[in-house]
């Protein structure tokens, strides 16, 4: 399955590189701007191709670019506060070192989470989960990833508490989705928040996911969100047959977005929201 996608992608990339965008749109083989706008646009860690990931500036950029959702990675500090950061250490995206779980909130918020991406972002802080919810609810959807939840016992309850305090756990709130690579954590969260949509993240090891496994996921999840490299039109159809939707990650090229659209996905998780053609980016 992976080989099939890889060959297709390479062929598509070579083909696409031979033409300009207006030529594709007229060809009938490539989605038009209007067609592609139907695909849900999730800004991965915010508009992280344009600003430092999991920071307010990256999330604000996603809102400005009219993405449908921001995706955030939620972990927990030593003193039990929820924060948005991807890696389980602060080393790559801040000027500090060490594990997220060894910092108190006060300590972790003293780190500079912007300079690594560009000097103009110096002083950006690691935001709290509550700050993100309060700033963006009603402005943009929020796709919450429980990141490495096995390191943070009780994180599902803490996330649920924040949402319930704000009355965001009611039926039909399609602006919040909770997902994780840890499927037991997804099930736990679904039990706590039965009216919130949940998603199963699936890395490359799920390339041969069976119909039976998909049906098991569909018992508690609304989304099957795989690594984009395992997506085929056949997988998309099988996911849809279970009633789930599919938002592959992580799109970092226009050709990848175009290819996934043609395979029939419901949305994409991308560092570059402009690939869904809603708005050209202005830096
Ligand atoms: O939302 C999907 C994607 O974020 C999963 O991968 O490593 O970027 O958290 P990662
Ligand atoms: Ca993530």
Question: Taking CB atoms and a 6 Å cutoff, what residues make up the pocket around ligand 1?
Answer: 44, 71, 73, 86, 145, 201, 225, 249-250, 269
pLDDT attached to residue 170: 85
Q: Which residues of the chain have pLDDT under 50?
A: 1-28
pLDDT attached to residue 173: 75
Long-range CB pairs of 19-24, under 8 A, 24+ apart, other chains included? 24/258
Among 273, 195, 263, 259, CA closest to 11: 259
Distance CA 210, CA 137 (A): 36
CATH superfamily, domain at 40-275: Phosphatidylinositol (PI) phosphodiesterase (3.20.20.190)
pLDDT attached to residue 277: 76
Atom of ligand 1 at shortest distance to CA of 145?
Answer: 1
Which residue has a Cα nearest atom 5 of ligand 1? 249
What residues pack around ion ligand 2 (CB closer than 5 A)? 73, 145
Alpha-carbon separation of residue 204 from 154, 208, 226, 228, 249 (angstroms)? 28, 9, 8, 9, 11
pLDDT attached to residue 19: 35
**Which pTM does this prediction carry?**
0.88
- Spell out the domain ranges in the chain: 40-275
Distance CA 238, CA 12 (A): 23
| Known catalytic membership, residue 279 | no
| Known catalytic membership, residue 86 | yes
């Amino acid at each position: 399955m992976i080989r099939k996608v890889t060959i297709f992608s390479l062929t598509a990339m070579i083909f696409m590189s031979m033409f300009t965008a207006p030529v594709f749109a007229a060809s009938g083989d490539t989605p038009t701007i209007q067609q592609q706008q139907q695909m849900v646009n999730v800004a991965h860690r915010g508009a992280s191709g344009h600003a430092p990931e999991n920071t307010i500036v990256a999330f604000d950029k996603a809102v400005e670019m009219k993405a449908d959702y921001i995706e955030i990675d939620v972990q927990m500090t030593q003193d039990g506060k929820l924060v948005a950061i991807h890696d389980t250490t602060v080393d790559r995206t801040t000027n500090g070192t060490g594990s997220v779980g060894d910092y108190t909130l006060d300590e972790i918020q003293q780190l500079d989470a912007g300079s690594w991406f560009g000097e103009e972002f110096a002083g950006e802080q690691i935001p709290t989960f509550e700050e993100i919810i309060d700033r963006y609810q009603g402005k943009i959807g929020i796709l919450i990833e429980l990141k490495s939840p096995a390191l943070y016992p009780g994180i599902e309850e803490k996330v649920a508490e924040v949402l319930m305090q704000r009355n965001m756990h009611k039926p039909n709130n399609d602006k919040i989705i909770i997902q994780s690579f840890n499927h037991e954590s997804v099930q736990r969260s679904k039990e706590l928040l039965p009216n919130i949509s949940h998603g199963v993240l699936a890395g490359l090891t799920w390339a041969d996911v069976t119909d039976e496994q998909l049906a098991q996921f569909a018992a508690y999840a609304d989304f099957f969100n795989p690594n984009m490299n395992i997506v085929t039109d056949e997988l998309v159809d099988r996911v849809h047959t279970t009633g789930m939707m599919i938002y592959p990650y992580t799109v970092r090229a226009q050709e990848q977005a175009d290819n996934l659209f043609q395979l029939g996905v419901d949305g994409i998780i991308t560092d570059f929201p402009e690939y869904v053609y809603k708005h050209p980016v202005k830096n």
